Chains A and B, each alone.
Chain A
């Protein structure tokens, strides 16, 4: 602070120069990269702690049941309704395109493959992040803000074991089930549009689908995707809650970060996994 008046007197200081600007930009970038790395390391350490303290979650499975209820059961309605709509839209759009090439019978294939490989896991995970992920963050953040976590610690109970781990496993278990329900309801939606409304033959709708959909390449890969998304979203949600500043703004900011970060991570992971899984096709 004491140097500021001095630099104002020196005429050279008026022009920082290209090198100076570049240097400042590089320093800025370097600082940002460093902060991101530190945060990633912190999340990694946190994840290890969650796994290490997971014992009680399985010894007393009632704790996880409760979290499956909040993460899974309470997401059922939004997942089913969205799945139905997405499936119906796929049916309408797919029919409109396929009928131009005289391949309307392939509608079942199109709907099933789109849902199983991409839309089921991805859209279900996005909905899960905004419905359940944000709720998990807000709940843990509020427990922190109201000193409930500190109280637990003072009672010699590890909050990661008692609060974080059950929520983590509840989310990880719920996510693949929700994605499967989404896809199943979506295929039903495609069936409603394709067969009941447009009037395609029901037999060829299903048989074309069955001959094109592979149990391992399509269904299993989709389940793996939704499992990975479940781990990512729930980890982000519990971490943001645990890391939230113990104030009202802190918790609301953490909740927003959960939804935004989850969405970006889901889409990025999807690109990577799709590239790995469907390379040969």
Chain B
């Protein structure tokens, strides 16, 4: 647990539009071998953090370091080299709908390596075996259930043996069994690959079981953090609200808006 730092975010700030900041000040770090959970309400900017780590968007202030290098300073080629060491699982799998399960998993191998077809075949079957879907290799993505799609995407994400895995809400919309399957897989694969992982999720209970560390984001800042044991024992109002799923609490139910009364009156004019 005390390996070198894989991801380091320092005073990170970002907004898609200039006058609407999404992230104000984020500080977090991921060490080699760790699985870190990133939690927060919908729309608080969790996916955005993953995009910043992958270099898809650039920070307006602060620093993103991945494998020790500053992402903002990379050119296109360096960025692509960095992404080769990175596996990302999108919210709904984002499988290529025109390719079979097999070809989906083979995709990064065919695009980014010069391996022969035989070698690729063996690797793909190994990855599919790891997620338990070798039998589904000739199915098309639309023939898969949500949980199976997520597992295929996981196999595709680990095809190049990444050193850092990013998971965007891997548990959303799954039944409890699939959910536990994915959770276990994430932990097993992370340890087998010797990789590190960041999991964006709402599912506190599942993540408490598998992760090493948790960060809570609200209003563009890290509002709480700790190991699973610390989180379970925490008396902080935000953490309690999140763990118990209460509607009103420190996290406001309403988006910031003009005065309600004056908005309604404005409509009459």
Contact = CB atoms under 8 A, between A and B. Distances in A.
Contacts of A157: 107-108, 111-112
B90 A150 contact: yes
A118 to B, nearest CB: 36
Interface string B81-95: 101101010111011
Given A150-B56, A162-B111, A155 B94 contact: no
Contacts of B54: 154
A142 to B, nearest CB: 8
B56 A154 contact: yes
Interface of B: 54, 56, 79-81, 83-84, 86, 88, 90-92, 94-98, 107-108, 111-112, 160
Interface of A: 139, 142-143, 146-148, 150-151, 153-157, 162
Nearest to A157: B111
A153 B84 CA distance: 10
Given A146-B97, A148-B97, A155 B108 contact: yes
B80 A156 contact: yes
Given A146-B97, A150-B56, A156 B90 contact: no
B53 to A, nearest CB: 10
B contact patch SS: mixed
B96 A154 contact: no
Contacts of B81: 156
A contact patch SS: helix
Contacts of A146: 92, 94, 97
A148 B94 contact: yes
Contacts of A148: 94-97
B83 A154 contact: yes
A187 to B, nearest CB: 37
A153 B51 CA distance: 11
A185 B84 CA distance: 51
Contacts of A155: 83, 88, 107-108, 111-112, 160
Contacts of A143: 96-97
B90 A147 contact: yes
B264 to A, nearest CB: 16
A147 B92 contact: yes
Contacts of A151: 88, 90, 94, 96
Given A155-B107, A156-B81, A150 B94 contact: yes
Contact of A156 (B91, B94, B95, B112): B112
A157 B109 CA distance: 11
Nearest to A1: B266
Contacts of A142: 97
Contacts of B107: 155, 157
A153 B98 CA distance: 17
A139 B107 CA distance: 18
Contacts of A153: 56, 83
Contacts of B98: 139
B167 to A, nearest CB: 12
24 contacts: A143-B97, A146-B92, A146-B94, A146-B97, A147-B90, A147-B92, A147-B94, A148-B95, A150-B56, A150-B90, A151-B88, A151-B90, A151-B94, A153-B83, A154-B88, A155-B83, A155-B107, A156-B83, A156-B84, A156-B111, A157-B107, A157-B108, A157-B112, A162-B111
